[in-house]
Amino acid sequence: MNRMASVLSLAVALAGCGSTEAPTLRAAPTAAEVHSPEGHAAEGHAPEGHAAEGHAAGHATGPQPTRVLDDGARLFGAEPQGLPSTALASIVANPAQFDGQPVRTEGTIERVCQAMGCWMELRAENAPAVRVPMAGHAFFLPRDVAGRSATIEGRVAVQALTEDVRRHLESEGALATASTLSIDATSVVIR
């Protein structure tokens, strides 16, 4: 409720900045809306499950953190579970060893989905970037966080992308689409 009041106050303040129209406020999409077949059809593609509403809502308001930590870092997604840290370079060097396992790792954000913020590519020194989808569209990242450091928790997956999914991701700016390695993030802390 407090967040809604803040958003409403911001919208009213922005309306006075030269606009004669009141802004249109949109709530973030629910998981059901993001994954609905209607949303897939409206957008014209189904590979990653982006609903047209989800894209519009992400552009209108931008993803908000779950909370801001005491040090100013922003948490997106679920609260971290406190898993022991594993070097991203170790996961990249031997993905089969970690396949299906929950991990905590960190690196530098190379790029973020420019359509919605539903994936990022995370890189560690001397290792190629790794695809990091956001828990089946459960949350999204701001599109302007490339270059920042991130600590993530999620489940490692080793699976080749279909051609349709690869093309879809590349249309959103992804480069790490040849790799079979990804980490499905449940928690992302951006510093």
All domains of the chain, ordered by start, with CATH? 2-65 (no CATH), 74-190 (2.40.50.140)
**122, amino acid identity:** L
pLDDT in tens, the chain (191 residues): 444 433 333 333 333 322 233 322 233 333 333 333 333 323 333 333 444 344 444 444 689 999 999 999 999 999 999 999 999 999 999 999 999 999 999 999 999 999 999 999 999 988 899 999 999 899 999 999 999 999 999 999 999 999 999 999 999 999 999 999 999 999 999 99
Helix (H, G, I), strand (E, B) or coil at 74: strand
Nearest by Cα to 189 from 138, 132, 149: 149
d(CA 61, CA 50): 17
Helix (H, G, I), strand (E, B) or coil at 67: strand
